[in-house]
């Protein structure tokens, strides 16, 4: 089985897939494709013109959630989607909460405080950052604080795709010098440290930080 992943490592969706691959101990080739000016050949495989895309023995799988589903079937242990139907539905919901919700807060902070300055050579839009930090993210952190209760991870069954997906978006917040206020959301702040401290995340974060340092 050959696996080839397309997409640059600072994308939270590419990172989500790389964390899954690391958690499952799967080897893969990585093509750090930038999400601009896609070739016709790429668009034929991913008509939404986004990264990531995985090729499994040359067969294309677009979208991080579709890729996650594939990898779970390919390498069922350690399981990242719980077997219990309700827990599994919660895992899929929290994956969506990350990809469609947390991304809307962490993304602007990352784009304005990191990409604008380091990669695009323009001033950051402070108003956009303030809106993300003060309006978009707080209710999402409130929700996560409630989800965690006394648990180490977002689901009672343990580490899952929910932690991978939300944790991956919050790496971009960190890269953009945003943070989870530990005084206001102590459980979320501790959970972020726990998730980002796992070997699967830690290695990637260090690799990305080295790349950012070299670029800036």
Ligand X SMILES: N[C@@H](CCC(=O)N[C@@H](CS)C(=O)NCC(=O)O)C(=O)O
Q: C-beta of 203: minimal distance to ligand X in Å?
A: 20
Query: Should residue 11 be labelled a site residue for ligand X when binding is judged by CB under 6 A?
Result: yes
Does residue 35 bind ligand X (CB under 6 A)?
A: yes
The Cα 22–Cα 205 span in angstroms is: 13
**Can you read off the two tokens belonging to residue 15?**
């990172």
- 52 touches ligand X (CB under 6 A): yes
Cα 141 to Cα 37, 134, 137, 146, 181: the distances in Å are 35, 11, 6, 9, 10
9 binds ligand X (CB under 6 A): no
Report the chain's C-alpha Rg in angstroms: 17
Binding segment toward ligand X, per CB under 6 A, in 7-15, 70-78, 188-196, 207-215: 7-15
**Alpha carbons 200 and 21: distance in angstroms, whole number:** 8
C-alpha span between 17 and 5 (Å, rounded): 8
* Interaction of residue 160 with ligand X, rule CB under 6 A: no
**Contact positions with ligand X (CB under 6 A) in 85-144:** 99
Q: Is 49 a residue that touches ligand X (CB under 6 A)?
A: yes
Distance, in Å, from the CA atom of 149 to the CA atom of 104, rounded to the nearest integer, reads 24
- CB nearer to ligand X: pick between 96 and 206: 96
Q: Check binding of 42 to ligand X (CB under 6 A).
A: no
Interacting residues toward ligand X by CB under 6 A: 11-13, 35, 49-52, 63-65, 99
């Amino acid at each position: 089985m050959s696996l080839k992943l397309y997409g640059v490592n600072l994308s939270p969706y590419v990172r989500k897939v790389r964390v899954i691959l690391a958690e499952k101990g799967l080897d893969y080739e990585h093509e750090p494709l930038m999400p601009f000016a896609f070739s016709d050949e790429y668009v034929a495989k991913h008509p939404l013109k986004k990264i990531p895309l995985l090729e499994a023995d040359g067969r294309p799988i677009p979208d991080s959630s579709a890729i996650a589903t594939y990898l779970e079937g390919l390498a069922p242990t350690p399981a990242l989607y719980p077997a219990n139907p309700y827990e599994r539905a919660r895992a899929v919901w929290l994956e969506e909460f990350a990809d469609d919700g947390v991304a809307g807060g962490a993304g602007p902070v990352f784009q304005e405080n990191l990409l604008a300055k380091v990669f695009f050579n323009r001033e950051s839009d402070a108003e956009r950052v303030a809106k993300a930090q003060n309006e978009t993210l707080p209710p999402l952190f409130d929700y996560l604080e409630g989800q965690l209760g006394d648990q180490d991870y977002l689901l009672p069954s343990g580490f899952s795709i929910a932690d991978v997906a939300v944790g991956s978006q919050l790496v971009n917040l960190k890269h953009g010098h945003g943070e989870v206020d530990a005084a206001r959301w102590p459980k979320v702040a501790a959970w972020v440290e726990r998730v980002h401290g796992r070997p699967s995340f830690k290695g990637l974060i260090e690799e990305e930080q080295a790349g950012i340092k070299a670029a800036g």
